[in-house]
């Protein structure tokens, strides 16, 4: 079976996306945390989701230095777009290490911020690997129904911490060329540093 690296946020959407792909690919989960800005409960929640989904390996990656770099050097309105690209690029590094051919995300068009059609187009253009978005066109209630059915909803519900450093009025439309220029301001070596500090948990 081929392998895929899945971004697992701890919210409702990404566990459902993983569930929908599990019969097709072997999944390695990747969670980007913001400790020490966030508490221990974030990682406990993610580990609980991993166990519930039956995933055998998860990377818990400290990402605060990368996110701070984006805040300090890039247009803040583009923060969510840029942070998602950086997560995908880190995921590509993990995929190369693990022999995985695909990336999986719980992005959904009904959401705001980085998940508008325009912004997802900009994100995709700056990622080299194939990205599967299994819940892309689901409405929120459909995702919630599946999450309840597979037992992840009660673990996932509650506030997410993804917006600790984000802008109040993020870009909902973007130009991929402009996003490329913003990425040029970022020290990509921070991705390697974050991955070196990752906790890899196997079940």
Note the pLDDT tens digit of each residue in 3-19: 999 999 989 999 999 99
What secondary structure does DSSP assign to 12-77, as a single string?
SHHHHHHHHHTTTSEEEEEEEE-TTTS-HHHHHHHHHHHHHHT-SEEEEEE-HHHHHHHHHHS-GG
* Mean predicted lDDT score pLDDT of the chain: 93
Distant-in-sequence, close-in-space partners of 78: CB < 8 Å, separation ≥ 6: 170, 171, 174, 178, 179, 182
CA distance 86 to 194: 11
Q: Characterize the bridge pairing of strands 130-132 and 102-104.
A: parallel
| pTM for this prediction | 0.95
The CATH code of the domain that includes 93 is: 3.40.50.620
Q: 60: closest CA among 187, 196, 157?
A: 196
Tens-digit pLDDT profile for residues 110-136 = 666 678 889 999 999 999 999 999 999
> Domain containing 156: what range?
3-202
Written as six digits, the tokens of 87 are 């997560």
- The domain tally of the chain equals 1
* pLDDT category of residue 36 using cuts at 50, 70 and 90: confident
């Amino acid at each position: 079976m081929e392998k895929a690296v899945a971004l697992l946020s701890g919210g409702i959407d990404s566990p459902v996306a993983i569930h929908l792909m599990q019969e097709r690919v072997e999944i390695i989960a990747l969670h980007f945390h913001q400790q020490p800005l966030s508490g221990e409960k974030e990682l406990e929640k993610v580990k609980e989701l991993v166990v519930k989904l039956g995933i055998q390996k998860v990377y818990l990656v400290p990402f605060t230095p990368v996110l701070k770099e984006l805040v300090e050097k890039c247009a803040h309105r583009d923060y969510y777009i840029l942070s998602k690209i950086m997560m995908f690029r880190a995921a590509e590094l993990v995929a190369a290490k693990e022999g995985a051919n695909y990336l999986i995300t719980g992005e959904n068009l009904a959401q705001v911020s980085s998940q508008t059609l325009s912004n997802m187009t900009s994100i995709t253009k700056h990622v080299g690997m194939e990205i599967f978005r299994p819940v892309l066109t689901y409405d929120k209630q459909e995702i919630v129904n599946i999450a309840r059915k597979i037992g992840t909803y009660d673990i996932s519900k509650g506030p997410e911490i993804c917006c600790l450093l984000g802008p109040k009025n993020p870009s909902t439309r973007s130009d991929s060329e402009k996003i490329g220029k913003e990425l040029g301001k970022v020290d990509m070596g921070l991705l390697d540093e974050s991955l070196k500090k990752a906790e890899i948990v196997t079940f």
